[in-house]
Structure 1
Amino acid sequence: MKYQRIKVSREQDIVTVRLDRADKLNGVDMTMFDELIYISKLLRRDRRLRAVILTGSGGHFSSGLDFKSMMKNKSFAARLLFKWLPGQSNRAQQVSTNWRKLPVPVIAVIEGYCWGAGMQIALGADFRICSTDANLSIMESRMGLTSDMGGSVALREIMPKDQALRISILATELDADEAQSLGLVTQVSHTPMDEALALCQQIIQKSPDVTAAMKHMYTRYWTAPAWKLLAYETYSQIRIMLGRNFPRVQKALRNKTLPEFQPRQRRW
């Protein structure tokens, strides 16, 4: 597929997805919605994939929804908000929630503006590493709207409710240090992309089955009843021990070498 609004590159089975509308501060239009949904679904089926980096072009992650573009066609809102079942993600929400479904870690590298729709996309990542000059905001209330792109699912896991409610109602703009103190970002760095790549190098030295199981366990069962979490712990441990990569780890430990992994198991 030839992309118009994103750039996709791959090295060592680490894929970088870059929002690529620098002239519009990577504002999200309908084409970008469609391309982000497409690439996230495509990557979910890739068993050799080890990690994904989400970032933006031109020194910014995203300034949010491109309202001017979206208002040109009244059918866009219907396409984005429609869903067959209430509990499913609609297309607006999939640009955030689809990253949570990938069986590999997703790292958002945030520079400059990360507002509104951009913040919702970044909240779909497992880790958010931002530059010291980043400016972050859940900005929908400024437009007379509520957050409606799936980021609230992650927000309830990483922040206290009162703080999440405050910054959402007020559309508070946060600098990097404030965002980290609230738990909205994982790390602040002068070189966030370098930090993300270094993290990816550590990830690919671990079993892809273990990584997939841990992500699934923490994403799906973090707020679930304890019995469900305990049941999945046992289930995943048995699957890993019966899989092809477990003996490779044991052999590498005995030989004091790095293991050579097979592609991860089919589904987690």
Structure 2
Amino acid sequence: MTSPTETSARVRLSIDERGIAEVALNRPEKMNALDTAMFEAINRTIAQLAEDKRVRVVVLHGEGRAFCAGLDLASFVAMGESERAQRSHDAGNMNDLAARTHGLANAFQQVAWGWHALPVPVIAAVHGVAYGGGLQVALGADIRLVTPDAKLSVMEIKWGLVPDMAGMALAAGLVRGDQLRELVYTGRVVSGEEAVVLGLATRACADPLAEARTLAAGIATRSPQAIRGAKRLCNLLPQTTPAEVLLAEAREQQKVMGGAQQQEAVRAGMEGRAPLFKDE
């Protein structure tokens, strides 16, 4: 059974008995545009998932016609006015972008970087549009499934801005440098199919949410300990040196080898049955 759904004004979260968490951006009337309440709700959800040991994999999607249309323009104007009014005397508020309020990130970066930093895989199902901040949120996922006709854009330049929600750090390992520069400098809109070619998306499919749920169900059957270790290894790439990666591989393998979950994976495979993992 699925646990009782937790609902906020902006994000809906449910976790089922398999440890699959489903997170829905829940502002369909605004194409899930990011306002202050959405930023806060996403960050609360990420923090909750990080602490919940039941969670094995996350499916992230948007309700309604789009994944996320980016920053809510009215909120952008309000935040700009607030920044001008408060910048000179209040360095501790949400508008001080240099403040590291969420580990490596500020509150705005955390809505994207937080998915990357979660200890479990995150699968984003993208339909409609993923513009600006919405694309950066999707880039925080481990895997991005998109409709062929989805529209994606690094759109900040249209508003005289630079990508500042962890998008540059996340895209650098996905998109070739010159192609990333073109997207950032122009704000060009690309289709889901082109996004796959560029590296912004993993693959295109007719129903990304259904595909994401199927993929999550498969991941949830694997050793949770091994999956978490694998994500830690993947997150080391590509900026880490080969020597550091080789040592990290050995250390992660030592953590799982011979453990109860690893032994259960072997037994289940030899017996031709689904494994039954207990938390370690």
Which interval holds the TM-score relative to the shorter structure?
over 0.9
2:94 is matched by which residue type in structure 1?
R
Q: 1:6 aligned to 2:22?
A: no
Counterpart residue number, 1:49: 55
Q: Deviations over 1:238-267 (max 9, x none)?
A: 00014321111122123221110112x5xx
Q: Deviations over 1:28-82 (max 9, x none)?
A: 0001101101110110111121111111111201111012124335447950524
Candidates 175, 198, 201, aligned match of 2:191: 175
> Residues 47-126 of structure 1 correspond to what in structure 2 (within 5 A)?
47-72=53-78, 74-75=81-82, 78-80=93-95, 81-84=97-100, 88-126=104-142
CA contact (8 A) 1:82 1:91 kept: no
Whole-angstrom CA distance in 2 between matches of 1:254 and 1:15:
29
Shift of 1:182: 0.6
Shift of 1:88: 2.3
CA contact (8 A) 1:123 1:155 kept: yes
Moved over 6 A (4+): none
Q: Which deviates more from structure 2 when the two are superposed, residues 139-148 or residues 3-12?
A: 3-12
Shift of 1:20: 1.1
Shift of 1:145: 0.4
1:176 is matched by which residue type in structure 2?
G
Q: Secondary structure at the match of 2:257?
A: helix
1:9 is matched by which residue type in structure 2?
S
CA contact (8 A) 2:11 2:24 kept: yes
Residue segments in structure 2 that go unaligned for 5+ positions in a row? 1-5, 85-92
The 1:190–1:91 alpha-carbon spacing in structure 2 relative to 1, beyond 3 Å, is: same
What's the C-alpha RMSD, in Å, of the aligned pairs? 1.9
Shift of 1:15: 1.1
Q: 1:17 aligned to 2:32?
A: no
CA contact (8 A) 1:93 1:149 kept: yes
Q: 1:39 aligned to 2:36?
A: no
CA contact (8 A) 1:5 1:31 kept: yes
1:17 is matched by which residue type in structure 2?
V
CA contact (8 A) 1:70 1:76 kept: no
Q: Deviations over 1:74-117 (max 9, x none)?
A: 447950524149x8210110001111111211011101011001
Counterpart residue number, 1:198: 214
Whole-angstrom CA distance in 1 between matches of 2:30 and 2:83:
19
CA contact (8 A) 2:149 2:193 kept: no
Q: What TM-score comes out, normalization by structure 2 length?
A: 0.89
Residue segments in structure 1 that go unaligned for 5+ positions in a row? none
Q: Which deviates more from structure 2 when the two are superposed, residues 250-259 or residues 204-213?
A: 250-259
1:14 is matched by which residue type in structure 2?
I
Counterpart residue number, 2:150: 134
The 1:254–1:35 alpha-carbon spacing in structure 2 relative to 1, beyond 3 Å, is: same
Q: Deviations over 1:121-173 (max 9, x none)?
A: 00000111011221000100110000000021220111110101111110010
Identity %: 32
Q: What TM-score comes out, normalization by structure 1 length?
A: 0.93
Shift of 1:22: 1.0
Whole-angstrom CA distance in 2 between matches of 1:221 and 1:122:
18
CA contact (8 A) 2:15 2:55 kept: no
1:3 is matched by which residue type in structure 2?
S
The 1:255–1:27 alpha-carbon spacing in structure 2 relative to 1, beyond 3 Å, is: same
Tell me how many residue pairs correspond in the alignment.
264
Q: Secondary structure at the match of 1:157?
A: coil
Counterpart residue number, 2:35: 29
Q: Secondary structure at the match of 2:55?
A: coil
1:26 is matched by which residue type in structure 2?
N
Whole-angstrom CA distance in 2 between matches of 1:76 and 1:214:
40
